[in-house]
Chains A and B, each alone.
Chain A
Amino acid sequence: MNKGLLALIILLLTGVIGFSQNDELLKVIKANSLLSYGGSDLVNFEKETYIVGVAAVEVGTKKISSLTRIGKVKAEQQVSSFVNGSDITSRTEYYLKEEQTTINDSTAVETTETFVEYIREDTEGFVKMMQPAGFWFSEDKSVFYYALYKQVEL
C-alpha cells in the first residue's frame, strides 16, 4: 500500500516537474523575438539545445481542436523548412511600353507598365518525435500560436 502511494506521488511529481519544465520552455519560446510570431529556430534552454517550431494560425471561427490540429501541422512544416530547407520557385516579368503619337498639332502619350512576380515555396522533409510545448493567443485573440520542440545534439 505504502509502495503504491509512493509510486503515485513520484508519478505526480514527475508530471508536475515535466509540466513546469515545459512551461518554462514555453516562456523562453514566447520571449524569443524570432519565434514569438511563428517560425523555427534552435533554442538553448537549461544547457540543452532544442529545435523549436511555432505555427501562427488565424483563429476566425475555428474551434480549439481544429486550431491545435492545424497548429501542429504548421509547426512541423516550420521545423521541416528549417531542417530540410525549402524549394523556392519564382519567376519575374516586367514590361514597359511608351507610345507617342502626333497628328498635326495634337500629341498623345500612352504608357503601359506591368510587373508580375510569382513566388512559391514547397517544403518536403522528415520530421519526427516532436513534442508539444504549448499554445497561446495574440493580444487581440485573432492569432493562435502553437509550439513544438525536440531536443537535439549538435
Chain B
Amino acid sequence: MKKIFTIIMMIGFLGIAYAQNPADLAKSSAVQETQDVTSEVIEYPEETLRNVVSEALSRKGKALGTINSDGSIYVIAAATTARPSNMPGFINSRNVAYGVAELTAKMNLLRMAGEQITSGRGFTMLEDIIEGEDPDAANKASLLEKAGRVASESLDKALSYLGVSDEEIAKMNQSKKQAVYEQEFNQTVKSLVAGMVKGCSATMIAEGDAGGDDYQVAVCMKYSSEFQSLASVIKNNEQYQIPVGKIKNSIDKVKNMSEADLVGKMGTQITFNSNGEMVVFGYGQQEVRDASSRQSAAFSRAYSQARLQAVNNIKNFVAEDIVADESLTSIEKLKEYDDGDQAYYSRQKWEQAVKSKESTLNLATHEVRQWRGTHPVSGQNIAGFVVAWSPSNAEQANKLKDQFLKDGKGSANDSIMKAKRQQTKKSKTTISGEEEDL
C-alpha cells in the first residue's frame, strides 16, 4: 500500500513538473501576449494626413507649407476634442476641434506672408558672501523695536494658547533668508499676424481616437488663385465668370454619397459640376441627443443648426479677417542660501489667441442634401446638412428675385396705397357733456 502511494505521488510530481515545463509555458497564449507587447508608437491623425498629403502632392510636383509653382499653398493643422468620443457632447466638441484646426491652418497660412515678432530676454546673477559681522551695523535697539518684540512674543503665546502649532508659529516668524547666490532669467517672445484670408478651403480631413480620451481632427487647407477668384465672385454676386475646370458630377456624387462618408465631411469643398463650373459645398453637422419623446423636433432643430453651420462655412471660405497673436514667457530663478538650502522657481507661460473678426455677407446658397447618420466611433446621432453655391444657381436666384419684384408691381395692395386720397365729406357736429356741469 505504501509503495503504491509512493508511485502515485511520483507520477503526480512528474505530471506537475511536465505541466510547468518553461518551454511549454512560453508557448502559452498568456505568456505570448505579454511577450508580444512592444512600446507602441501611436500615429496621430495629423501625422497620417501629413504623410498622405505629402505623398499625393509630391506626385504632382508640389509640397506642403510652401508656395508651389502654380501659386497654391497647402497647410495642415490639427486640434483635439475637449470631450471624449464616448461621452455626450462629443459631436459638438468635434465641430469645435475642426473650427480650431481650420483657424490654426489659416493662421499658419498668414504667417507665410510674414509675421511680426517682438522679443526680449535678460538675466541677473548675484553672489553675496558675508564673513563675520559688520561692526558699524551694530546699533542700540530703539524703544519701538523693543515694544515690537514684546508684542510679537505676546502674540506668539496667544496663538499657541489658541491651538496653533509651534511649527506654524515658527514659519510665521521666519525672516527672509539671505541668499549667497542668485540667478534669474526671463524671456518673452510675441508673434502677431493679421490679414484677410480669401479662398481657402479644406481638401482633406483626418480624424480618429488615439485612445486615452484623445480624439484628434486634422485638416489640410488649400489656398489658390482660382479659389480667390471664386471667393471674389461669390462676394460680389455678379459677373459669374470663373475658371472652368474638369467636368465632374459633384452634385449627384454628394446626393448619392453614403452617410458614413458624409460624417467625415466638414467645412467647405470646392469641386466642379456637370457644366465644368466651380461649386462650393458647405457641410454642417449637429449632434442629436436621444430623447424619449419629441425626437423629430430634436432632429428638426439640429437640421436648422447644421444648415446654418454649412452656410457659415461657405461664408468663411469667401473671406475671413484674422488676427492671431502668440506669446511665450519663460522665467527661471535659483537661489542658494547661507544655510545650504536651495530654492528653484520656474514658470513657462504660452498663450495663443486667434480671432476671426465679425463680418456679414449676403449668400444665395441652395440646399443639396440633408442627412442623418451615426458617428462611427461614438455611435452618436448626427443631423447633417449640405448646401452649395454655384454660378448657375446664383443666377437662377437673381432671376427669381426679379420675377418676385415684377409680380409685386401693380398688385392690389399697391394700387390701394397709391390711389389718390379723396377729400373728406361734411359731417354733423356732435357735442358731449351736460349743461349742469357747466
Contacts and interface: CB of A to CB of B under 8 A. Distances in A.
A3 interface: no
Nearest to A114: B353
Interface in A5-46: 33-34, 37-42
B87 interface: no
Interface in B269-326: 293-297, 299-301, 303-304, 307-309, 311-312, 315-316
B363 interface: yes
A113 to B, nearest CB: 7
B407 interface: yes
B300 A143 contact: yes
B419 interface: no
A64 to B, nearest CB: 17
Interface size class of A (residues with CB under 8 A): 35 or more
Contacts of B351: 95-97
B238 interface: no
A70 interface: no
B236 interface: no
Nearest to A103: B345
Most buried by A among B297, B351, B363: B297
Most buried by A among B237, B299, B300, B360: B300
B404 A83 contact: yes
Given A33-B370, A83-B404, A119 B312 contact: yes
B364 interface: yes
B77 to A, nearest CB: 11
A88 B311 contact: yes
Contacts of B221: none
Given A95-B353, A96-B351, A140-B295, A121 B311 contact: yes
Given A119-B312, A126-B405, A142-B296, A86 B358 contact: no
A17 to B, nearest CB: 24
Given A98-B349, A127-B404, A87 B296 contact: no
A65 interface: no
B99 A101 contact: no
Given A90-B315, A126-B404, A96 B308 contact: no
Nearest to A124: B362
A29 to B, nearest CB: 14
Contact of A92 (B303, B356, B363, B365): B356
A138 interface: yes
Interface in B7-66: none
B370 A104 contact: no
A41 B367 contact: yes
A75 interface: no
Given A88-B312, A101-B347, A127-B404, A115 B100 contact: yes
B108 to A, nearest CB: 13
Interface size class of B (residues with CB under 8 A): 35 or more
A85 B397 contact: yes
A83 B367 contact: no
Nearest to B305: A119
B82 interface: yes
B324 to A, nearest CB: 9
Given A37-B303, A142-B297, A86 B363 contact: yes
Contacts of A85: 237, 362-365, 397
B196 to A, nearest CB: 14
A48 interface: no
Contacts of A34: 367-370
A92 B411 contact: no
Nearest to A96: B352
A92 B266 CA distance: 17
Interface string A60-95: 000000000000000000000011111111111111
Interface string A112-125: 01010111010001
Nearest to A140: B296
Contacts of A118: 358
Given A92-B356, A97-B351, A126-B405, A121 B308 contact: yes
Contacts of A104: 342-345
A55 B396 CA distance: 22
A131 B297 CA distance: 26
A154 B403 CA distance: 9
B400 interface: yes
Interface of A: 33-34, 37-42, 51, 56, 58-59, 82-104, 113, 115, 117-119, 121, 125-129, 138-140, 142-143, 152-154
Given A95-B352, A154-B396, 10 more contacts: A37-B370, A85-B362, A90-B315, A94-B103, A98-B348, A101-B345, A102-B346, A104-B342, A142-B296, A152-B400
7 contacts: A39-B370, A93-B356, A97-B351, A97-B352, A101-B346, A126-B401, A129-B407
| 7 nearest A-B pairs in the assembled complex, by CB-CB distance | A85-B364, A91-B358, A138-B296, A142-B294, A92-B356, A102-B346, A142-B297
